[in-house]
Amino acid sequence: MSPCLGSDIDPTLPHHRAQSMDEIFLPAQNQYPVWYFFYGTLADPEILARQTSRSELPVLRRATVKGGIIKMWGGKYKALIDGPSSAIVDGWTYEVNSGEEEEQLRYYETDQYEVVRCEIHILESGVLVKGLTFRFIDD
């Protein structure tokens, strides 16, 4: 299940470990489409379209995640870091459709961020999905 968003989750504790050898933590590697949670510049449809080489504006949905907090990095960039499990971050979610699209997003976010698993609450539908987000690698 690691890496995942939230400082309260220790993947070495028994209740966070796989219950069997067949258990798969979602989203799996190379699983597409996959939901991504955005909270900064990628939540702007025009920037997201440009970074994913899309000709039309992408559809973003209002969403939240638990287990993180936002801090400012470099005085102008939002940076998601681990927080208590009760902390809620507002943002947007988007369904990434291919590995190429995902690579473009990772390139845009630079090596200052890592991709981690999270549960995304899509507000308009009330659905909770297993997804990914970019977590700042704090220095």
Domain that holds residue 75: 32-136
Coil, strand or helix at 60? coil
Residue 8 covered by a domain = no
Q: What are phi and psi of 45, to 5 degrees?
A: -55, -35
Residue type, 98: S
Residue 57 covered by a domain = yes
pLDDT tier at 9, thresholds 50, 70, 90: low
Q: What is the CATH number of the domain that holds 86?
A: 3.10.490.10
pLDDT tier at 30, thresholds 50, 70, 90: confident
Residue 45, judged by CB atoms within 10 A of its CB (0-12, 13-18, 19+), counts as middle
Give the chain's domain count.
1
Stretch 82-88: mean pLDDT: 92
- Residue 108 near residue 51, CB atoms below 8 Å: yes
With a threshold of 0.95, does the pTM exceed it? no
Residue 6 covered by a domain = no
